[in-house]
Amino acid sequence: MKQGLWSLKWDKDHLILLDQTKLPDEIVYIDCYSYKDVVSAIKTLAVRGAPAIGVAAGYASVLAFRECRAYSDTGLTERFYAALDELEAARPTAVNLSWAISEMKEVYSHSESLETAGAELLNKAKDIEYSDRDMCRRIGSHGADLFKGKTALNILTHCNTGALATAGDGTAFSVIKELNERGQISCVYADETRPLLQGSRLTATELMANEIPCCLITDNMAAMLMNTRHIDAIIVGADRIALNGDGANKIGTYGLAVLASYHHIPFYLAAPFSTFDTSIKSGGEIVIEERNPDEVRTYKGIQLAPKDVPVFNPAFDVTPNHLITGIITEKGVIVPPYTDNIKRFYKEEG
């Protein structure tokens, strides 16, 4: 089976990122020797996808420590934490970014000495990457098990949740890939996902690379698709999930959830536990990133609208928990009542 693309790779002393803004036309890599290279890559979505952003931030923390140490040991902690804060501020919605930064701060604060800190930070960054890969595999398996005994499945997905959004096979995409390997997929419908087209540029590329039967639709076709063709389930990713199960994901997700409810189609989020934010009780507290209006007015230099037309460009929206059938995680599938069941999963983790 043809394999897909990968989002990032640590190469001895620097981080290599696949520049996803250039896909699907070009394969261009970014060699990040400074954490500032990673800040820029996260801001421009050269690297994107909640889990991938978290993994990239882990390695960027290693680069930041090396840069701060090379400057001087005096005032190192202040400079290092300032660099981590700059990384964390690169994008506000995906909790994996702040989660990874807090994991790296924890390692640094408990390191025995500056001499050992560097190696300990690199080991933690690698652990975040390898855990993410294992998480993807387990999400794929738990999600596919939801459809045991079902064949010729038609699945609709949104944005990109595959290898380009993670360090492994993906979240929602991993479920789709596993179902395909079990011979249960008839067709995967991929929303193009305006304005940055993660669906048409990235997901369609990954589906074709993995030889998964697929069909690309524009976002405004989703309602008619559900109304005229049989869709067995909608499976999407998530960027931040509140304690009550409300989930933030790429703009357009909430609309799909409303349509799924109207058409009685099961609607699943697929996300690792690093995407849960139990410090917030509900989705109303999730900060939604608003991006540059020109991302809506133009695409790759083509003017799509008047240069000065006012634009509303939230990069995410929040789906309320009552529209979510289940949340597929690496620990299993969480179903309502979400607050109690999410707390139970955390208790089991200890």
Residues belonging to the active site = 239
Q: In whole angstroms, how close is the CB of 281 to ligand LNRAV4D5 at the nearest point?
A: 21
Q: Across the chain, which distance is largest between two alpha carbons, in Å?
A: 66
Contact call for residue 315 and ligand LNRAV4D5 (CB under 6 A): yes
When asked if residue 128 is in the footprint of ligand LNRAV4D5 (CB under 6 A), the reply is: no
User: Which of 197, 225 has the CB closer to ligand LNRAV4D5?
Assistant: 197
Q: Does 49 participate in binding ligand LNRAV4D5 (rule CB under 6 A)?
A: yes
Q: Which residue in 61, 157, 161, 325 binds ligand LNRAV4D5 (CB under 6 A)?
A: 161
| 245 touches ligand LNRAV4D5 by CB under 6 A | no
User: Considering the complex, what minimum distance in angstroms separates the CB of residue 234 from ligand LNRAV4D5?
Assistant: 12
Q: What are phi and psi of 235, to 5 degrees?
A: -130, 120
Beta bridge partners of 332: 329
- Is the CB of residue 318 less than 8 Å from the CB of residue 286? yes
The candidate with the shortest Cα–Cα distance to 49, out of 134, 177, 160, is 160
198 binds ligand LNRAV4D5 (CB under 6 A): yes
Which one of residues 30, 95, 100, 165 is an interface residue with ligand LNRAV4D5 (CB under 6 A)? 165
Distance CA 87, CA 334 (A): 31
Q: CA 149, CA 101: separation in Å to the nearest integer?
A: 41
Q: Residues 99, 274: contact at Cβ < 8 Å?
A: yes
CA distances from 144 to 57, 177, 305 (A): 30, 9, 42
**Which listed residue (55, 122, 128, 159) binds ligand LNRAV4D5 by CB under 6 A?**
159
Cβ-Cβ contacts under 8 Å for 202 (sequence gap 6 or more):
20, 23, 24, 160, 162, 164, 165
Contact criterion met (CB below 8 Å) for 342 and 278:
yes
341 marked as part of a ligand binding site: no
Cβ-count burial of 88 within 10 angstroms (0-12 exposed, 13-18 middle, 19+ buried)? buried
- Of 14 and 48, which CB lies nearer to ligand LNRAV4D5 in the complex structure? 48
H helix runs in the chain, sequence order: 35-43, 50-71, 76-88, 95-109, 114-145, 172-181, 198, 204-209, 222-228, 253-262, 294-297, 338-349
Three-state DSSP state, 165? coil
Is 182 annotated in a binding site? The answer is: no
Task: For residue 250, say whether it is annotated as part of any ligand binding site.
Answer: yes
Minimum CB distance to ligand LNRAV4D5 smaller for 244 or for 274: 274
Q: Strands 29-32 and 326-329: what pairing? A: unpaired
Residues 212-241 that bind ligand LNRAV4D5 (CB under 6 A): 236-237, 239
Kindly state whether residue 274 participates in binding ligand LNRAV4D5, applying the rule CB under 6 A: no
Please say which residue, 93 or 180, places its beta carbon nearer to ligand LNRAV4D5.
93
Q: List, in order, residues 6 or more apart from 108 with CB less than 8 Å away.
A: 65, 77, 80, 117, 120, 121
Judged by CB under 6 A, does residue 54 bind ligand LNRAV4D5?
no
* 50 makes contact with ligand LNRAV4D5 (CB under 6 A): yes
- CB closest to ligand LNRAV4D5, residue no: 237
Task: Please indicate if the annotation marks 50 as binding a ligand.
Answer: yes
Q: Is 168 in the site for ligand LNRAV4D5 (CB under 6 A)?
A: no
Stretch that binds ligand LNRAV4D5, among 1-9, 47-55, 97-105, 212-220 (CB under 6 A): 47-55
Token couple for 11? 């190469």
Amino acid at 176: I
Our CB check for ligand LNRAV4D5 shows the closer of 315 and 327 to be 315
Binding-site entries:
48-50, 91, 198, 249-250
Binding-site entries for substrate:
48-50, 91, 198, 249-250
Contacts to ligand LNRAV4D5 by CB under 6 A? 48-51, 159, 161, 165-166, 170-171, 198, 236-237, 239, 249-250, 315
